[in-house]
Structure 1
Amino acid sequence: MSITKLLGIKYPIFQGGMAQIATAPLVGAVANAGGLGIIGSGGFTADRLREEIQKTKTITDKPFAVNLMLMMKNIPELIEVILEEGVKIVTTGAGTPAPYMETFKENGIIVIPVVPSVKIAKKMEALGVDAIVAEGTEAGGHVGETTTMALLPQVVSAVSIPVIGAGGIADGRGVAAAFALGAQGVQVGTRFLATIECPTHPNFKQAVIEADDTSTTVTGRSLGGPVRSIKNSMIAEFLKLESQNASRDELEKLSMGSLRKAVFEGDAERGSIMAGQICGLCNEITTVEEMITSMFNEAEEVLNQLGKITIVDSERELVLV
Structure 2
Amino acid sequence: MGITKLLGIKYPIFQGGMAQIALSPLVGAVSNAGGLGTIGSGGFTADRLREEIRKTKAITDKPFAVNLMLMMNNIPELIQVVIEEGVKIVTTGAGTPAPYMPIFKEHGIKVIPVVPSVKLAKKMEALGVDAIVAEGTESGGHVGETTTMALLPQVTSAVSIPVVAAGGIADGRGIAAAFALGAQGVQLGTRFLTTDECPTHINFKKAVIEADDTSTTVTGRSVGAPVRSIKNSMIAEYLKLEREKASRDKLEELALGSLRRAVFDGDTDRGSVMAGQISGLCKEITTVEKMITSMFTEAQEVLNRLGNVTLVEEKESVLE
TM-score, normalised with respect to structure 1: 0.98
Structure 1 counterpart SS, 2:65: strand
**Matches of 1:310 and 1:233 in 2, distance apart?**
49
Give the corresponding residue for 1:318.
Answer: none
**1:122-201 map, 5 Å:** 122-201=122-201
% identical equivalent positions: 83
**Matches of 1:89 and 1:262 in 2, distance apart?**
29
Give the corresponding residue for 1:81.
Answer: 81
Q: What stretches of structure 2 of length at least 5 have no aligned partner?
A: 316-320
**Matches of 1:309 and 1:278 in 2, distance apart?**
26
**Matches of 1:311 and 1:111 in 2, distance apart?**
39
**Shift, 1:313, TM fit:** 3.5
**Matches of 1:252 and 1:130 in 2, distance apart?**
35
**1:239-318 map, 5 Å:** 239-314=239-314
Amino acid at match of 2:213: D
**Matches of 1:81 and 1:66 in 2, distance apart?**
10
Q: Indicate whether 1:221 and 2:209 are aligned.
A: no
Amino acid at match of 1:89: I
Q: Number of paired residues?
A: 315
**Matches of 2:246 and 2:35 in 1, distance apart?**
42
Query: 1:139-168 deviations in whole A, cap 9, x for unaligned?
Result: 000000000000000000000000000000
Structure 1 counterpart SS, 2:311: strand
**Matches of 2:304 and 2:76 in 1, distance apart?**
46
Query: 1:234-281 deviations in whole A, cap 9, x for unaligned?
Result: 000000000000000100000000000000000010000000000000
**1:100-111 map, 5 Å:** 100-111=100-111
Query: 1:200-255 deviations in whole A, cap 9, x for unaligned?
Result: 00000000000000000000001101000000000000000000000001000000
Query: 1:57-84 deviations in whole A, cap 9, x for unaligned?
Result: 0000000000000000000000000000
Give the corresponding residue for 2:62.
Answer: 62
Amino acid at match of 2:143: V
Amino acid at match of 1:269: D
**Matches of 1:312 and 1:136 in 2, distance apart?**
30
TM-score, normalised with respect to structure 2: 0.98
**Matches of 2:192 and 2:68 in 1, distance apart?**
19
Give the corresponding residue for 1:319.
Answer: none
Amino acid at match of 1:96: T
Give the corresponding residue for 2:206.
Answer: 206
**Matches of 1:101 and 1:243 in 2, distance apart?**
41
**Shift, 1:314, TM fit:** 4.5
Query: 1:172-216 deviations in whole A, cap 9, x for unaligned?
Result: 000000000000000000000000000000000000000000000
Amino acid at match of 2:255: S
Structure 1 stretches of 4+ moved >4 Å: none
Amino acid at match of 1:199: P
**Matches of 2:297 and 2:234 in 1, distance apart?**
39
**Matches of 2:300 and 2:113 in 1, distance apart?**
27
**Matches of 1:306 and 1:196 in 2, distance apart?**
33
**Matches of 1:130 and 1:300 in 2, distance apart?**
26
Amino acid at match of 1:149: M
**Matches of 1:162 and 1:252 in 2, distance apart?**
36
Amino acid at match of 2:203: N
Q: Indicate whether 1:71 and 2:105 are aligned.
A: no
Structure 1 counterpart SS, 2:91: strand
Structure 2 counterpart SS, 1:91: strand
**Matches of 1:166 and 1:109 in 2, distance apart?**
22
Q: Indicate whether 1:118 and 2:131 are aligned.
A: no
**Matches of 2:222 and 2:96 in 1, distance apart?**
22
**Matches of 2:92 and 2:208 in 1, distance apart?**
25
Amino acid at match of 1:16: G
Amino acid at match of 2:282: C
State the superposition RMSD in angstroms: 0.6
Amino acid at match of 1:136: G
Structure 1 counterpart SS, 2:165: strand
Amino acid at match of 2:132: I
**Shift, 1:310, TM fit:** 1.2
**Shift, 1:311, TM fit:** 2.9
Give the corresponding residue for 1:96.
Answer: 96
**Matches of 2:133 and 2:257 in 1, distance apart?**
27
Amino acid at match of 1:69: M
Query: 1:26-57 deviations in whole A, cap 9, x for unaligned?
Result: 00000000000000000000000000000000
Q: What stretches of structure 1 of length at least 5 have no aligned partner?
A: 316-321
